[in-house]
Copies of this chain bind each other. A is one copy, B any other.
Amino acid sequence: MASDTREQFLDTAELLFSERGFYGVSIAAIASELDLTKQALLHHFGSKEKLYGEVLKRISQQFVSLESDSASQSNDPEIRLKTYLISLHTPFERGAAPTRLLMRELLDNKRRADSAGTWYLKPFLERLVDMIIAIPRWQNAPRAEAFAAIYQLLGAINYYSISQPTLTGIFGADAYSEIDQAFPTQLERLIDVAVAAGPKSTA
């Protein structure tokens, strides 16, 4: 099938880019993963940069659609936010690859400020702020304060998501699996107390 190959290219590229970064992966390496030559890849995407852009675009779209999923869960804004935040922890079947790639983009796009990632992330972040401000306790919080609070939670989630290989390396597989078991509970507790604490103004 035609678009099947395209999709496979996107899958492979997402994985490899997330593991090695843009400069760490050659288009030949991506193609050989599918037993094709790099020219097949160039035929479908035109250039390495364009392929990367399409991978990023697909990920951000999936993050947005993840949002609308959790929106239908409850009418209580607090529960909705919590559900969404927790769903960000290993959000897709593909594991942490999308999160890793977004983290790389966060690190890299200083030089490519005009690139896709920047704009794709914006609605996602603004939606998060909207969600916390919908909670009565946070209603009067300045937007900057709400953003700081939500970004801290986002960091708590994403930082851990990308750390698995390193933590396994440092502490060993057994200790890591214990940590991994403890993490979700502890995360829920953190989100609970952070949301309950409210903005500075209410303190």
Contact = CB atoms under 8 A, between A and B. Distances in A.
Interface of A: 19-24, 100, 103-111, 113, 117-119, 121-122, 125, 142-145, 147-149, 151-160, 162-163, 165-166, 169-171, 175, 178-179, 181-183, 185-187, 189-190, 192-194, 196-197, 199-200, 203
Contacts of A199: 186
29 contacts: A20-B23, A20-B111, A21-B23, A106-B162, A106-B166, A109-B166, A117-B166, A118-B169, A121-B166, A122-B171, A142-B178, A143-B178, A144-B179, A145-B186, A148-B160, A148-B185, A148-B186, A149-B186, A151-B160, A151-B163, A152-B160, A152-B190, A155-B158, A155-B160, A185-B200, A190-B190, A192-B197, A193-B196, A193-B197
A144 B107 contact: no
Nearest to A163: B106
B19 A111 contact: yes
A181 B145 CA distance: 9
B21 A107 contact: yes
Given A24-B23, A178-B144, A186 B125 contact: no
B107 A103 contact: yes
Contact of A144 (B109, B166, B181): B181
Residues of A contacting B: mostly: helix
Contacts of A142: 178, 182
Contacts of A119: 170
